[in-house]
Chains A and B, each alone.
Chain A
């Protein structure tokens, strides 16, 4: 057995899992507040990639036709693309909630679920109409480099992915646990009416939840796009499935659970890929089913009953 290769796969898995985690928190936060699986969430992730792609293209920062390396983009500009995409996705997330879910707030749980699938399809096929069906080469933004530590290669994009995801998840955790709005979010996830009695505007808090999740998904979209580096309007399909599973695995409603679930899924996929790339996802999902058979509420689901 080639332990170096196995280790290599695991480090790749951590990067992959970090991206799952960034998208999974969006599922888990919305579920924590509304008990709704927001199927459109992974398409907001897709939009996140496109919202960074278009300005880069307009400003001439795309790789050349032959797929050569990107022109060097100033770091400040990359930051601007990322923040711009986060803001745009936050707006889309808020719009989806306002237009598609809020009118159905009192219609039981099935109607909003079906609407969510509808919004997802709308974004996927609407995206194909507007963006075109062909995959587009995403600007790499940073020059690819890798560092060799005892035979294991650390690509700089992987490092960027892991660090960015860790910083954002950490910031989110601080926000939820130690700010006034974060407390409001946790109050709303427990009970709308009791939150109202505290003077909390429940609708505004729900909007904020969608905006937070959507902006993190945007960053996930950009990170994955930089790594791939192609994007398509259907790129949310796979990610949606993985991130949703990660959220359930970690315990839906729990933010640390989403992070843990994402990392576990990413690593187990990559480790299985050491033996067989063909079956990597199948085996990874088998592991998940095994975990859920033992702990149906997810890893951090029932022991830490705290939602959001």
Chain B
């Protein structure tokens, strides 16, 4: 197998004196959807923030496309296709939907490509097109989530980090979001997915890691993890 697109290698992250991640290691190969599940406060978002450059590991390193990026600022990584869609509150509420989408393409200057991607984004989420001139803060929770994802795609990601894309959404919308994730992946984008909705996330990914108190406690194929009694008890409601 070729060298993984992303390698997180024994990463320790601290908030002040508090250790949030302990020796976290994970990999994402080109074209994969990988899920990271875990409880609230287990360090899932911290892991994503470390990968995308918002946080710096005290120990360990993050390799992307073979390069050590653990000291690179987030805004440079976006240019290399490492893009994060923050959880829905991460949109800019004081800007319109269209302005949010334009900001997604901030690093690009290919006008024709941007226009095409804009069209593709609105085709993916027709609801956003209807709200194009509305302030993003006036959108519903689901629409804000769609905007966060659509906006991330505007940067032409090679590796997309998705933070809780289904958080707080109605079941029907959750289904739409996961179908969209499949489609994005089908277009060749590798995805690292953080989810509380472990059941759906495991269905839509190939491999998964389980994070507990800042440590990876389990990893394997998503299918195997779904059948694992311990995982079922802890994250899948014991069904």
- Chain A residues at the B interface, C-beta cutoff of 8 Å: 180, 183-184, 186-187, 190-191, 193-202, 305-307
> Interface segment, B79-87, B115-123, B223-231?
B79-87
Choose one: A180, A186, A193, A199; the contact of B54 (CB below 8 Å). Answer: A193
The answer to whether B92 touches A197 (Cβ under 8 A) is no
Q: Please report the C-alpha to C-alpha distance between residue A284 and residue B87 in the assembled complex, in whole angstroms.
A: 47
B154 to chain A minimum Cβ distance, whole angstroms, is 9
Choose one: A186, A198, A202; the contact of B106 (CB below 8 Å). Answer: A198
A306: chain B residues at CB < 8 Å are 94
Query: Is residue B189 within 8 Å, beta carbon to beta carbon, of the partner chain?
Result: no
The answer to whether A197 touches B79 (Cβ under 8 A) is no
Known: A197-B84, A199-B155, A306-B94. A183 touches B75 (CB 8 A): no
Choose one: A180, A186, A196, A305; the contact of B75 (CB below 8 Å). Answer: A196
Query: Is residue B169 within 8 Å, beta carbon to beta carbon, of the partner chain?
Result: no
The answer to whether A198 touches B73 (Cβ under 8 A) is no
12 A–B contacts from the bound complex (CB under 8 Å): A183-B106, A186-B92, A186-B94, A187-B95, A187-B103, A190-B92, A190-B93, A193-B74, A197-B90, A199-B75, A199-B79, A199-B107
Q: Please report the C-alpha to C-alpha distance between residue A180 and residue B84 in the assembled complex, in whole angstroms.
A: 20
A196 to chain B minimum Cβ distance, whole angstroms, is 4
B139 to chain A minimum Cβ distance, whole angstroms, is 15
Query: Is residue B104 within 8 Å, beta carbon to beta carbon, of the partner chain?
Result: yes
The answer to whether A194 touches B90 (Cβ under 8 A) is yes
- Chain B residues at the A interface, C-beta cutoff of 8 Å: 52-54, 73-76, 78-79, 83-84, 86, 90-95, 99, 102-104, 106-107, 151, 155
The answer to whether B103 touches A184 (Cβ under 8 A) is yes
A195: chain B residues at CB < 8 Å are 75
A100 to chain B minimum Cβ distance, whole angstroms, is 22
A183: chain B residues at CB < 8 Å are 95, 99, 102-103, 106
A208 to chain B minimum Cβ distance, whole angstroms, is 14
The answer to whether B94 touches A201 (Cβ under 8 A) is no
Q: Please report the C-alpha to C-alpha distance between residue A186 and residue B93 in the assembled complex, in whole angstroms.
A: 11
Q: Please report the C-alpha to C-alpha distance between residue A101 and residue B24 in the assembled complex, in whole angstroms.
A: 35
B92: chain A residues at CB < 8 Å are 186-187, 190-191, 194
B53: chain A residues at CB < 8 Å are 196
B183 to chain A minimum Cβ distance, whole angstroms, is 22
The answer to whether A198 touches B103 (Cβ under 8 A) is yes
The answer to whether A197 touches B93 (Cβ under 8 A) is no
B151: chain A residues at CB < 8 Å are 198
A191: chain B residues at CB < 8 Å are 90, 92
Task: List the B residue with the shortest CB-CB distance to A193.
Answer: B54
Q: Please report the C-alpha to C-alpha distance between residue A306 and residue B94 in the assembled complex, in whole angstroms.
A: 6
A199: chain B residues at CB < 8 Å are 75-76, 78-79, 106-107, 155
Instruction: Determine which residue in B90, B92, B95, B104 has the highest number of CB atoms from chain A within 10 A of its CB, and name it.
Output: B92
B126 to chain A minimum Cβ distance, whole angstroms, is 23
B163 to chain A minimum Cβ distance, whole angstroms, is 10
Task: List the B residue with the shortest CB-CB distance to A189.
Answer: B94
Task: List the A residue with the shortest CB-CB distance to B85.
Answer: A197
The answer to whether A305 touches B95 (Cβ under 8 A) is no
Q: Please report the C-alpha to C-alpha distance between residue A191 and residue B90 in the assembled complex, in whole angstroms.
A: 9
**Closest 8 interchain pairs by CB?**
A199-B78, A199-B107, A196-B74, A306-B94, A198-B103, A198-B106, A199-B106, A196-B75
Task: List the A residue with the shortest CB-CB distance to B154.
Answer: A198
Q: Please report the C-alpha to C-alpha distance between residue A180 and residue B102 in the assembled complex, in whole angstroms.
A: 8
Q: Please report the C-alpha to C-alpha distance between residue A200 and residue B53 in the assembled complex, in whole angstroms.
A: 13
A241 to chain B minimum Cβ distance, whole angstroms, is 29
Q: Please report the C-alpha to C-alpha distance between residue A190 and residue B73 in the assembled complex, in whole angstroms.
A: 19
The answer to whether B95 touches A200 (Cβ under 8 A) is no
A180: chain B residues at CB < 8 Å are 102, 106
A186: chain B residues at CB < 8 Å are 92, 94-95, 99
Q: Please report the C-alpha to C-alpha distance between residue A195 and residue B53 in the assembled complex, in whole angstroms.
A: 13
The answer to whether B104 touches A198 (Cβ under 8 A) is yes
The answer to whether B94 touches A190 (Cβ under 8 A) is yes
The answer to whether A200 touches B106 (Cβ under 8 A) is yes
B179 to chain A minimum Cβ distance, whole angstroms, is 24
Choose one: B78, B94, B102; the contact of A197 (CB below 8 Å). Answer: B78
B78: chain A residues at CB < 8 Å are 197-199
Q: Please report the C-alpha to C-alpha distance between residue A306 and residue B75 in the assembled complex, in whole angstroms.
A: 24
A198: chain B residues at CB < 8 Å are 75, 78, 103-104, 106-107, 151, 155
A305 to chain B minimum Cβ distance, whole angstroms, is 7
Q: Please report the C-alpha to C-alpha distance between residue A193 and residue B55 in the assembled complex, in whole angstroms.
A: 10
B192 to chain A minimum Cβ distance, whole angstroms, is 14
Task: List the B residue with the shortest CB-CB distance to A205.
Answer: B75
The answer to whether A197 touches B83 (Cβ under 8 A) is yes
The answer to whether A305 touches B94 (Cβ under 8 A) is yes
Q: Please report the C-alpha to C-alpha distance between residue A159 and residue B206 in the assembled complex, in whole angstroms.
A: 70
B24 to chain A minimum Cβ distance, whole angstroms, is 20
Instruction: Determine which residue in A180, A193, A196, A199 has the highest number of CB atoms from chain B within 10 A of its CB, and name it.
Output: A199
B99 to chain A minimum Cβ distance, whole angstroms, is 6
